[in-house]
Structure 1
Amino acid sequence: MSSRDRYHHGDLRQAMVAAGLALAREGGPQAVVLREVSRLTGVAPNAAYRHFANHLALFEAVRAAALGALAQAIEQEMKAAEQLPDAVARARGLLAAVGRGYLRFAEAETGWFRTAFAAGAFDVKVPPDPSRTADKGLNPYELLSYALDAMAAAGVLPPERRPGAEFLAWSTVHGMAMLSIDGPLRSATPEQRKALGLRLLAMVEKGI
C-alpha cells in the first residue's frame, strides 16, 4: 500500500510526529532521526520532505509536542488548586502545582523532557504554537507565568518582585529535575526525591 493510499492531507505529518515522539520517549532527542521516523510510518524519506523541509523541521515539531505533553502534565497538577476558594491558597497551590508537574514529568517521561529542552529556538520568544500547549492554550513557561500572576494578584508576591520571577523559579526547579535524572539524585529513592522536591518548592515560594 502506498503512502498516498495510507495517508491523506495532514495524516502523514501527524503520524511522523507521533513516531518521532515514540522514538524520543525511549531514546531522547538524539533518537529522532528522519529516516527512522520514515521507516516507522512506512513511507519513503522523500515523502517525509513534503511535510518537513529537513530533519530540524521534524525535530522542532516533535519538540513542540513534547512541550505540549509537559504542559498537559502541569495542568493536571493544577486542577485541584484551581478549585480552592481562597485566593492566597489558590495562588500558592498553583505555583506548587507547576513545580510538581515539572519534576514528575522529568522523572516519568525523561526522554520527552530532554527533547523538550534540547537545543532549539528560545520558547519564550518564538511565535505561539498550539502544539506546545494543553487545554489552557499556554505553554509550560506561560503556565508558570499564570501561576506567578495569581501570586501577585493575591498579594503574596510583591509587585516589584514580579518581573523576572519566572526565570528564578524555572532555573531552580529545572536544576532539581536535572539532578534527579542525570545527576547524583538518580541514586536517591523516589521518596527522598519527592521530599526534596517539596522542600525545594517551598523554598521557591519564599525566595521569590
Structure 2
Amino acid sequence: MSTYHHGHLREALVAAAVELGREKGPDGIVIREVARRTGVSHNAAYRHFADRDELLREVATYGMDQLSATMLKRVRRVRVTDPVERARRRLREVGKAYVEYALAEPGLFAVAFYPVTLPDLSGPYQLLTDALDECLEAGFMSAEKRPGAELPCWAGVHGFSLLYGSGPMRDVPRRQRDADLAQLLDRIEDSLRA
C-alpha cells in the first residue's frame, strides 16, 4: 500500500493505477483496488475521478507520454551527418522504439489502445510525421509517396507489436524477433524510397 502527501491524492491514485495497468493491463485497473493500494476509501477516489473510464484515460495518457519519450530518445541517438542516411535511420528508430515500448510495457501499451481510453496520439504520431517529413526533405522519399505515409508505417509496427507481444508470435526467440523486425522495417523503407 502506498501513502500520499495531503493534497496529492489524485497523483497517488494515478500512480497506483499506472502500476495496476503495468501489471494487469486495462482490466486490472479497478477504482476499489487503486484506492486500496493508495490507502484511501473508494469514495475518496471517486472525488477525483468521475468513473473508471476517466482513470483509464489518465493511465493511457501516461503510457502515450512514455511511448513518446522512448521514441524521442532513440531518434536523438542517431548521429550520422549524411542527411539521407540520418533521415532513414531516424525513421527506423521511431519504429524500433514503438515495438520496444510495446514489448517492454505490454500492460500500459494495452491500456493506451483500450477502446474507451484512446488518448491524444499527437506525441508518437508527431514523431512519426517528423521522421517522414525529414525523409522527404532529405530526398529519401519522393513527394508522391509522402501523403498518408503515417498509416502504413504505424500499422506495420503496431501489428508487429501485437503479434510478437501477446499474439501467436510471442514465443519467438528475441534474435529471430529482432531479425523479423528488421525485415519489416526494410519493407517499409522499400515502399517509401524515392
| Structure 1 residues 1-150: aligned runs within 5 Å | 6-8=5-7, 11-81=8-78, 83-120=79-116, 123=119, 126=120, 139-150=123-134
Instruction: Give 1:39 deviation, angstroms.
Output: 0.9
Residue in 2 aligned with 1:178? Answer: 162
Deviations 1:111-154 (A, max 9, x none): 1111111113655xx5xxxxx7xxxxx61111111111111111
Q: What is the TM-score when the length of structure 1 is the normalising length?
A: 0.85
Question: d(CA) in 1 for partners of 2:116 and 2:148?
Answer: 22
Question: d(CA) in 2 for partners of 1:122 and 1:55?
Answer: 14
Instruction: Give 1:67 deviation, angstroms.
Output: 0.9
Q: Which residues of structure 1 form unaligned runs of 5+?
A: 127-131, 133-137
State the secondary structure of the residue aligned to 2:11. helix
**Size of the alignment, in residue pairs?**
190
Instruction: Give 1:197 deviation, angstroms.
Output: 0.5
Question: d(CA) in 2 for partners of 1:108 and 1:6?
Answer: 30
% identical aligned pairs: 39
Cα RMSD of the aligned pairs, angstroms, is 1.8
Instruction: Give 1:49 deviation, angstroms.
Output: 2.3
Question: d(CA) in 2 for partners of 1:107 and 1:94?
Answer: 20
State the secondary structure of the residue aligned to 1:163. coil
Question: d(CA) in 1 for partners of 2:52 and 2:117?
Answer: 15
Aligned equivalent of 2:184, options 180, 200, 203:
200
Instruction: Give 1:183 deviation, angstroms.
Output: 2.1
Instruction: Give 1:74 deviation, angstroms.
Output: 1.2
Deviations 1:64-114 (A, max 9, x none): 101111111112211221x32221111111110011111111211111111
Q: Which residues of structure 2 form unaligned runs of 5+?
A: none
Question: d(CA) in 2 for partners of 1:109 and 1:121?
Answer: 17
| Structure 1 residues 151-162: aligned runs within 5 Å | 151-162=135-146
Question: d(CA) in 2 for partners of 1:158 and 1:191?
Answer: 33
What letter is aligned with 1:159? A
Q: What is the TM-score when the length of structure 2 is the normalising length?
A: 0.91
